[in-house]
Amino acid sequence: MYPAPGPFPMKHVLLALSLSIPAFGQDVVRAIELPRATMRELAATPLREPSRVIEQRWLPPFDSLHIDVIGPVATLEPPVAAIQAPSATTFFVETSTAVSPADASGAVGPTHLVGAHNSAIVVQNRTGGMLTRVTLAQFWFSNAGLAIYYDPRVVYDAQHDRWVVVSIWDEKAVMLAVSETGDPTGAWRRYQFTQQRADYSQLVLSGDSIVAGTTDFAGNLSYYFVVPRTTAYANPATLSATRIDANASNATPVASATQKWIVTGNSLNIAWAPLDNTATWKGANTPNILNHPSGTPLPQAGGPGLDGGLGVVESAVEHDGWIYVVYDRLPRGTSRHIIEWCRFHPVTGAASWGTIVDPDPNVSYGYPSLAINRNGAIIIGFGIFSPTSYASSGYIYRDAAGNWSPVKRIRHGDSAFTVTDRWGDYSSTVVDPVDGTTFWTLQMNAKSANWETTWSRISADTKSKRRTARH
């Protein structure tokens, strides 16, 4: 394992990006409200979840932005000495023999855990006890008959003690739900924003708003529905959102307490822009040693290669004015996936990079997510894939001083994943709102020829002193 180096010298690498079509458009749109319902009522809805495989398109290339480089190319620094990885407490969340892939997302509150999968919304207590499980079709049921819902994501808003869920409805709409209280087993308000060709959801809390995004693959566009949090939490019968359109496909919104940003990238560049501003995009060069995955499969023993996606920015988080992003790439001349992460300053353009690579050249890492605790420590969770083993999961830890641990396995797969070649988008890594230092990560592994998800609670870097100078 060659962990990402840290600390890095900051490279000032601003780019000016000219766009072939206008970058943004904004409209106020009104949602269709679904009936108010509690989790108990939704669970009692007599729906049968059909056996189905949700096939999503390969993500389009990063070709709608034209980049003029005006700064130096950043380089990777040698890795620092490794530290021990913190231990994890792990327990089962969900599996399904009817719906694949999982597309698993998760969030953590002070008394509950919520996992959002293509198969179901699962609510547990913080020791893994099952409290409520409703299928995705039940959760969004609106007396319109059985419909196809997929790509769910969930976040917990610690500031307001609310839960937010987003899904896609059959490439026709973006679905948004908000809990009425901090109890996710209670009542929810659910809304539908019509959006043709919607696919691949996004969901973050950014500034004072909920940002729910999606991609129009045919047009290489991204759409974002922005709702002030106080408005959504007032349980309105009619909910309006500002819809912002960007001509960069699959641009990821940044989870941030301050300004709203979106970020996208390819094997050469990371680019970002304010979500609610038509200002010119800025960007930074990557070290230019990695390729976009471009459909290269993830290996597994005894089964076909698994869909590894196209290495889009999987997770983007702001911390102390810096934005941290993580995604997977291919070292040039190879066909295996590794993880690249980047830290950049959206105002100055200072940036640094690192890679997470297994010492075995046959082992791939994919679908990463990251979280940063209040002390500046980082956990990155991801899938682990090899032609001699089954799809597994793991994480890597970086302490606040910039030292990295070896990769630590969460759970080993026990069989080939044969339901579909799509392993499934998303994973979730979050900070515990109770103490601001403990991490939780929701990851997938192969189980009985299907998929299984697990929560892992990782206690790390609980020192109260903020050590951010060496980031």
- Which residues are paired to 284 by β-bridges? 270
Residue 139, H or E segment: helix 136-139
Is it the case that residue 180 has pLDDT exceeding 60?
Answer: yes
For the chain, the average pLDDT equals: 83
Question: With a threshold of 0.75, does the pTM exceed it?
Answer: yes
Distance between first and last Cα of the chain? 21
DSSP assignment string, 380-442? EEEEEE-TTS--EEEEEEE-TTS-BPPPEEEE---S---S-SB--S--EEEE-TTTSS-EEEE
Which of 270, 247, 330, 325 minimizes the C-alpha distance to 294? 330
182, two tokens: 């901090």
Residue with tokens 């994480």: 395
CA dist., res. 247 & res. 231, Å (int): 28
User: What pLDDT, on the 0 to 100 scale, is given for residue 73?
Assistant: 52
Q: What tens digit of pLDDT does each residue of 236-285 get? A: 888 999 999 887 777 899 999 988 999 988 777 888 888 876 456 788 88
User: CB of 225 within 8 A of CB of 213?
Assistant: yes
Is it the case that residue 155 has pLDDT exceeding 90?
Answer: yes
44, two tokens: 């009692």
User: CB of 246 within 8 A of CB of 273?
Assistant: yes
User: CB of 415 within 8 A of CB of 10?
Assistant: no
Mean pLDDT for the stretch of residues 357-369: 94
Radius of gyration over every alpha carbon of the chain, rounded to an integer in angstroms? 21
User: What pLDDT, on the 0 to 100 scale, is given for residue 280?
Assistant: 67
Mean pLDDT for the stretch of residues 346-364: 89
Is it the case that residue 62 has pLDDT exceeding 70?
Answer: no
Q: How confident is the model at residue 351 (pLDDT cuts 50, 70, 90)?
A: confident
Which of 318, 323, 316, 163 minimizes the C-alpha distance to 229? 163
User: What pLDDT, on the 0 to 100 scale, is given for residue 15?
Assistant: 29
At 372 the three-state DSSP class reads: strand
3-state percent breakdown (helix, strand, coil) of the chain, nearest 5: 5, 50, 50
